[in-house]
Amino acid sequence: MPIKWSALKVSQAMDMAEEFIKEADLPLEQAKIVATEARRIANLPQYVDDRLIRLISQIERIDNVKGAIKAVREAIPGGAIEAEQKVLEYGSQQSLVM
């Protein structure tokens, strides 16, 4: 039974999302380094250190986003993207069966 939604469009959307995440990787890694260095400031109060630890853990959650994109890709039925690409390449033709 063919799917009614566009697996190709979902895949393309995940490609775009992945590109945005890749663009954010370096700035987030730099922010993590800065926060880690801030934890080394002399006489830093524990409550500030706790917040820096939380900031670092939030930055690391980007892996959850990457995992979510991967899960969307895995939810697309096998061969659906290729089948849709073929239909778009050759166009659709109605059956002449009576």
**Residue 35 CB contacts under 8 Å (≥ 6 apart), including other chains:** 52, 55, 56, 59
Q: Do 44 and 17 touch, CB atoms closer than 8 A?
A: no
In a domain, 17, yes or no: yes
In a domain, 97, yes or no: no
Residue 36, SS3 per DSSP:
helix
In a domain, 30, yes or no: yes
In a domain, 53, yes or no: yes
pLDDT at 1 over 70: no
In a domain, 1, yes or no: no
Q: What is the total count of domains within the chain? A: 1
Model confidence band, residue 90 (pLDDT cutoffs 50, 70, 90):
confident
In a domain, 36, yes or no: yes
In a domain, 3, yes or no: no
pLDDT at 22: 94
pLDDT tens per residue, range 10-64: 999 999 999 999 999 999 999 999 999 999 999 999 999 999 999 999 999 998 9
Which residues form the domain of 41?
Answer: 10-89
In a domain, 80, yes or no: yes
More confident of the two residues 58 and 89: 58
